[in-house]
Structure 1
Amino acid sequence: MTAVPTVHRPSAGISPATGGGTRAWTVTALLVVFMMVNFADKSVLGLAADEIRADLNLSATQFGLANSAFFLLFSVAAVAVGLAADRLSTKTIVLVMAVLWSVAQVPAAFGGGLAVLVASRVFLGAAEGPAFPVAQKATLAWFPDERRNLPGALVTLGVTLGVIVSAPGLSWVIQHHGWRAALWVLAAAGLVWAVAWAALGADGGHSVGTEPGTGAAGRPVEKRADVPYRKIFASRTWIGVTLAYFTSYWSVALMLVWLPSYLRNALGYSAGAAGTVVIAPWLVGALALLGQAGVTGWLMRRGTGSRRARGWVGGGLLALGAACCLALPLADGRTATTVLVALGFGLGGSYATVAATTVAELAPPSRGGGALGTMNAVVTAAGLAAPAVVGALVDARGTGGYRSAVLLSGLLLALGAAASFLLVDPQRDIARLDGSDGSDGSNGSTAQ
């Protein structure tokens, strides 16, 4: 696979030397809201799970498969649009996606049964598949590498804010006006955002990839030549960060689709209370994202290589999430169970910024969009599998299936933590991709 390098010109309000500026943070704020709408779209079926199952007479397995359908074309679209983002305006790509999201809500909002619901979710998934990598690329293009941790984390924070802000309101709409009315609300939100982006959005002036200048730990970085995608995908860093992010996304998929039902059917929360309690793991995730960005930025400013600053910090979050999920059998009572689930899923689901900034560092500028898009395509396959697997567990084991799903998530998160600790080392793999032997001690493995 190849891509034509994009020539970026700094837009008004950005300093090419330092990044930032009013325009940069305006674009970042808009893209945070973009991801909020994106995850409100994803979460609505989970919030309305019991109502949809009753209305359409679905088993847990059928409902899980309907949610898995969302990811049927999700990965394909992520790769295709990620590659296109290396040669086309990200402003235009983002605008088209937002409009399509709103259009995708309309068929199921009008009516119809399972077939209409599945078809609309497949279409929505195709339109939303590229959202995270393209939003990250659009944001990171406004900042140099050493300043990307905070804006990257804020865009990822939009994921959690989308659920935190929308869950109570959508739950109220579902309870008082029906689940189809909630789809109309989301369609309107997408169109309003698209109008704002058309007026205020813009492309940044930095390439997404390691640029000439000063890199991590203050080391000089020379202009990088293009390398084939296959070499990027074969690097241990890309493999490790993709595997770790896959296990993290598994937890995110379960939070979106099955956590509200778990709270209502296994832990005994009312529909209204579940719509509030479901926010807890997303709040944990938001704090973890901001904490990770702060710690990673602090370590990199002190000269620590990105192996530790990104790979080890991210791996630590996954390990903590795994420990909480695997401790579930020790919980005594509903409160303790809720706390462990919130901590396990919240910490375990907070790897996205580490993944995006690591791949952006690893890839040359002309390969940034394709490398991010392909990673996202592999990772979001977890969304295709997780809802269906949990649906089958619930049909087979009743409410005990929810606990089995949490324990399975814990095991996967432990595997992801190991991959992040052992495989992720961008500076080592940059040296290998660029033809250097990487043995002079200047890579991330030896940085202190």
Structure 2
Amino acid sequence: MTAAPTLPQHRPESTESTSSNVRAWTVTALLVVFMMVNFADKSVLGLAADEIRADLHLSATQFGLANSAFFLLFSVAAVLVGLAADRVSPKVLLLIMAALWSVAQVPAAIGGGLAVLVTSRIFLGAAEGPAFPVAQQATLAWFPNHRRNLPGALITLGITLGVIVSAPGLSWVIQHHGWRAALWVLAGIGTVWALAWAALGADGRHRTGRESAAFAQDGARADLPYRKIFASRTWLGITFAYFTSYWSVALMLVWLPSYLRNALGYSAHDAGTVVIAPWTIGAVVLLAQAGITGRLMRRGAGSRRARGWVGGGMLAVGALCCLALPMADGSTAKTVLVALGFGVGGSYAAIAATTVAELAPPSRNGGALGVMNAVVTVAGLAAPAIVGALVDAHGASGYQSAIVLAGVLLAAGAAASFLLVDPDRDIARLDGRHPSSHTSDGVDS
């Protein structure tokens, strides 16, 4: 009797690998949309700034404070949920967040004055605070470290796409049906996403920390105190650099539409279109950054160059554009500089998330990302209020002063990214090893 032929043993593994890969990119796509909804929620008040101020009789300072209220519990929630994400299923956390977003839009959509608007935004901010770090953690858990640059950038791209896609549509709704109708639209979109995530979302199986032999063999890494991570130069540098970048993001969300209308003379319709320019530039920058970073790492460059230096270069370009604004003549030149400054300078989030995911061990990844996000988004609490005070005090010229201030901060962030970010060095120190006098890039550390 002839023995039955033996089937190749690799086929089930290949099928499983293909299925896992499809699921990984399905989850990534869903989380890109998740971040799109997140930033559409954030941007709606900025798009309706003049209408809300007229309807509720608010000064620029009051409107700035109403937007700052969004970040009042934002950072606290980011820390608490980020820490919980190390123990609770990210799928569950993301589902709860999306459901709460939809509920949070309803009170202000129904009616009420400034108190209702502020309360609604505080609740919305608490629900959205952990969104970015948990979405990054949930996505990166599907990919090994060397493949994380693209998915990490895509999640951040969701931020820019959220504004690019929603700004024209929300502006139309606001102009034709009022700003409260726009809140109902966002509540409905959030509900639809939550239903899709409940059906298709899943938790990844890859480690979210550095996947090196040293990490795998050192069991003490699991018990590494958070304070040691937070005291590392890489975590401090990346967090400060991201803070300066997020300051620009906060200005884009809250005050850029008003700047275009009240300082540069754009109509409400044109401002709703032009406002997407820096976000479009940011989308291109994010994809280019992912490609450059991935290529450098495939060629053996360490994260100091591939992430710290590339990110520092982006912040430096943004700073130069913002600082050049007072020298520009005419609304077109100013529009171009602001779009480049905010678009390039505001695109640091993917660099920050992938660097912290590399630095932190698996059991500390959610907390490290969450606390970073909490510190960074303090910029969202401060920036709108400060700009509102500048506008009330100086009129249209207050917008320009705010942009120059953003340029100064971006320059400081660029310096931090260049000088402090070096995951290889700090991973060695956290592991109790002595880092070499040179990094893997051949540069003194």
Q: Same fold (TM over 0.5)?
A: yes
In the alignment, is residue 420 of structure 1 matched against residue 414 of structure 2?
Answer: no
CA separation in 1, counterparts of 2:436 and 2:319? Answer: 34
Contact 1:19 1:147 in 2 (8 A): no
CA drift at 1:350 = 0.3
Alignment correspondent of 1:82: 82
In the alignment, is residue 342 of structure 1 matched against residue 339 of structure 2?
Answer: yes
AA paired with 2:236? I
Pair 1:84–1:417, CA change in 2 (3 A): same
The residue matched to 2:204 in structure 1 has which SS?
coil
Contact 1:318 1:347 in 2 (8 A): yes
CA separation in 1, counterparts of 2:161 and 2:99? Answer: 21
Contact 2:109 2:181 in 1 (8 A): yes
Contact 1:31 1:155 in 2 (8 A): yes
Alignment correspondent of 1:232: 229
CA drift at 1:223 = 3.4
Alignment correspondent of 2:327: 330
2:297 aligns with one of 291, 296, 300: 300
More helix per residue: 2
TM-align CA RMSD:
1.8
In the alignment, is residue 175 of structure 1 matched against residue 144 of structure 2?
Answer: no
Contact 1:249 1:379 in 2 (8 A): yes
Structure having the higher Rg: 2
In the alignment, is residue 56 of structure 1 matched against residue 50 of structure 2?
Answer: no
CA drift at 1:442 = 5.7
AA paired with 1:150? L
In the alignment, is residue 372 of structure 1 matched against residue 372 of structure 2?
Answer: no
Contact 1:19 1:142 in 2 (8 A): no
AA paired with 2:110? F
CA separation in 1, counterparts of 2:250 and 2:346? Answer: 9
Contact 1:20 1:143 in 2 (8 A): no
TM-score, L = length of structure 2: 0.94
AA paired with 1:417? A
The residue matched to 2:76 in structure 1 has which SS?
helix
TM-score, L = length of structure 1: 0.94
Contact 2:208 2:362 in 1 (8 A): yes
Pair 1:261–1:442, CA change in 2 (3 A): closer
In the alignment, is residue 351 of structure 1 matched against residue 348 of structure 2?
Answer: yes
Q: Where has structure 1 moved over 3 Å in runs of 4 or more? A: 12-15, 220-224, 440-448
CA drift at 1:211 = 2.0
The residue matched to 2:207 in structure 1 has which SS?
coil
| Structure 2 residue ranges without an equivalent (≥5) | 1-13
Moved more, 397-406 or 220-229: 220-229
Moved more, 165-174 or 20-29: 20-29
Q: Sequence identity, in percent?
A: 79
CA separation in 2, counterparts of 1:343 and 1:42? Answer: 21
Alignment correspondent of 2:151: 151
AA paired with 2:260? L
1:437 aligns with one of 434, 441, 444: 434
- Deviation string 1:242-280 (CA, Å, 9 cap, x unpaired) is 000000000000000000000000000000000000000
Alignment correspondent of 2:389: 392
In the alignment, is residue 140 of structure 1 matched against residue 134 of structure 2?
Answer: no
Alignment correspondent of 1:193: 193
CA separation in 1, counterparts of 2:442 and 2:119? Answer: 47
Pair 1:308–1:187, CA change in 2 (3 A): same
| Structure 1 residue ranges without an equivalent (≥5) | 1-11, 214-219
CA drift at 1:80 = 0.3
AA paired with 2:393? A
Alignment correspondent of 2:9: none
CA separation in 1, counterparts of 2:116 and 2:440? Answer: 52
Pair 1:445–1:230, CA change in 2 (3 A): farther
CA drift at 1:356 = 0.1
Contact 1:35 1:159 in 2 (8 A): yes
CA separation in 2, counterparts of 1:200 and 1:333? Answer: 50
CA separation in 1, counterparts of 2:186 and 2:363? Answer: 35
- Deviation string 1:86-124 (CA, Å, 9 cap, x unpaired) is 011000000000000000000000000000000000000
CA drift at 1:33 = 0.1
CA drift at 1:296 = 0.2
CA separation in 2, counterparts of 1:14 and 1:138? Answer: 20
- Deviation string 1:366-404 (CA, Å, 9 cap, x unpaired) is 000000000000000000000000000000000000000
The residue matched to 2:217 in structure 1 has which SS?
coil
Contact 2:250 2:379 in 1 (8 A): yes
1:244 aligns with one of 241, 251, 256: 241
CA separation in 2, counterparts of 1:445 and 1:170? Answer: 50
Contact 1:428 1:444 in 2 (8 A): no
